[in-house]
Structure 1
Amino acid sequence: MTVKVGVIGAMDVEVEALCRALGDARVTTCANMDFHEGVVGSTPAVVVRCNVGMVNAAACAQVLIGRFGVTHVVNTGVAGSLDAAIDIGDVVVATDAVNHLMDVCNLGYAPGQTPGLDALAFPCDARLRERLADAVRATCRVGVHEGRVASGDRFVRDAEEKARIRAAFDAACCEMEGAAIAQACWLGGVPCGIVRAISDKADGSDAVDYPVFEARAAADCAAIVRQLLESWE
């Protein structure tokens, strides 16, 4: 099978370095997003900034699958830690992803479950998880963790909300796109991987330093994905 990897980040800082790594890329604008298509190492790839939020992320994943025919999708970026053992600068490779704001419990669904779907959390591909974890170890001298990502259209910044998500979903970190991408890939039968560098503690405790941590974490994630693509066999 010919591999073509779609790489999604929500912000410029998460994809700029990867776009540069593509070299002389072909750029296609679709759904108000610029899709940069080229090669990293010897791996064909399409890199795109989806912009923040679940709808943007799902639409982006669908365009990658339907228009560009990607065989794999990787979501890269930053996240807030929900686990005291996962520190700022560490990296989480997702086992699965859940929408922590989905709530149709009054109709008998579990917290996070989308009506009409059996899945509560959308799984990440096991082989892609292994590749990403190997890329972290080859690239960054940081802690690498595997666990659930919780996503929703809310920047989590207080201890009460953090505790709710952690208790309800046993998630390792939270962000605003991963579950939408994982759901689109699950529906489309395309292997998905999510790698998130921790930029904050999701409780407002480090708000002053957030831009510094965000830039460093995003750079680490870009390096990890580049290593993934360059070492793909």
Structure 2
Amino acid sequence: MSQVIGLIGAMDEEIELLLSGMQTARKTVKAGITYTEGMLHGHRVVVCKSGVGKVNAAVTTQILIDRFGVNSVIFTGVAGAVNPELNIGDIVISSTCMQHDMDVTPLGFARGIIPYQDISEFAADSRLIQLAEMACRARGDRYLTGKVLSGDQFVASRETVTTLYTEMGGACTEMEGAAVAQACHMNGAPFVVLRSMSDKADGSAHVNFAEFTVEASHRSHQIVEYMLQHFDT
């Protein structure tokens, strides 16, 4: 089976640079999502915008696997920093992904645990992690490999940030990664989530987010480009 790489972003800013560099692009619309197939740095890729939130991300990932036969998934975009060592512009590479808004604590489950399921924290692929780390080192980007926390809420409370860091060990928070991770896990597909910090998830996003989203998206794009250029090494 030939290698097909799925590249997902949640917003236009996160995929437009990938689309501009593709060759022999062909578009397909499925479940309201546009999937663009083509070649990028000598690899067959499918690029798409999932839309915001875990349901959109899960549906997008499953279609990538079922309809387009992708073998690996890279999710790229922006996030809010949770680990206090992170600054705006820093990169988080997922070691694992988990849902922070999965909360069944009244039944005795720890926060983030999916009831009656063996796995609730989904490990990213070690080779894709290494490629992403290589890209950050080569570019001189500050990065942290750590847990990506996902939930269908825009975190803007310092108290919540502290909880996500101290109780769940999160590096950053966003709204899609854990859904992509779970869909990939269920299908046996390797994945990694790359997030560039656009804000500190501390209530200052109204100041930071618009200004840094484009810059952060460019940084994430450059990392994906490097990974594709070295994918077979």
Q: Where do 4+ consecutive residues of structure 1 move more than 3 Å? A: none
Equivalence for 1:191: 190
Amino acid at match of 2:111: P
Residue pair 1:41, 1:231 contacting (<8 A) in 2 also = no
**How large is the RMSD of aligned CA atoms in angstroms?**
1.2
Equivalence for 2:147: 148
Q: Within 5 Å, which residues of 2 pair with 1:45-64?
A: 45-64=45-64
Q: 6-15 or 19-28: which moved more?
A: 19-28
Q: Within 5 Å, which residues of 2 pair with 1:20-35?
A: 20-35=20-35
Equivalence for 1:90: 90
Q: TM-score, normalising length from structure 2?
A: 0.96
Equivalence for 1:226: 225
Amino acid at match of 1:159: R
Equivalence for 1:178: 177
Residue pair 2:198, 2:208 contacting (<8 A) in 1 also = no
Gaps of 5+ in 1: none
Q: Within 5 Å, which residues of 2 pair with 1:33-48?
A: 33-48=33-48
Deviation at residue 34 of structure 1 after TM alignment: 0.4
What is the alpha-carbon distance in structure 1 between the residues aligned to residue 116 and residue 20 of structure 2?
41
Deviation by residue 1:146-183 (Cα, 9 ceiling, x = unmatched) = 00000000001110111121122101000000000000
Gaps of 5+ in 2: none
Residue pair 1:98, 1:112 contacting (<8 A) in 2 also = yes
Q: 27-36 or 109-118: which moved more?
A: 109-118
Deviation at residue 22 of structure 1 after TM alignment: 1.0
Change (3 A) 1:206 1:184: closer
Deviation at residue 211 of structure 1 after TM alignment: 0.9
Equivalence for 1:158: 157
**SS class of match (2:170):** coil
Amino acid at match of 1:88: I
Q: Within 5 Å, which residues of 2 pair with 1:93-112?
A: 93-112=93-112
What is the alpha-carbon distance in structure 2 between the residues aligned to residue 229 and residue 89 of structure 1?
21
Equivalence for 1:115: 115
Deviation at residue 21 of structure 1 after TM alignment: 1.2
**SS class of match (1:156):** coil
Deviation by residue 1:101-157 (Cα, 9 ceiling, x = unmatched) = 00112223221111231112111011110011112223x332111000000000011
What is the alpha-carbon distance in structure 2 between the residues aligned to residue 189 and residue 85 of structure 1?
33
**SS class of match (1:88):** coil
**SS class of match (1:87):** coil
Q: How many residues align?
A: 232
Change (3 A) 1:206 1:29: closer
The alignment-based identity, stated in percent, is 41
Amino acid at match of 1:226: E
Residue pair 1:110, 1:120 contacting (<8 A) in 2 also = no
Amino acid at match of 2:156: R
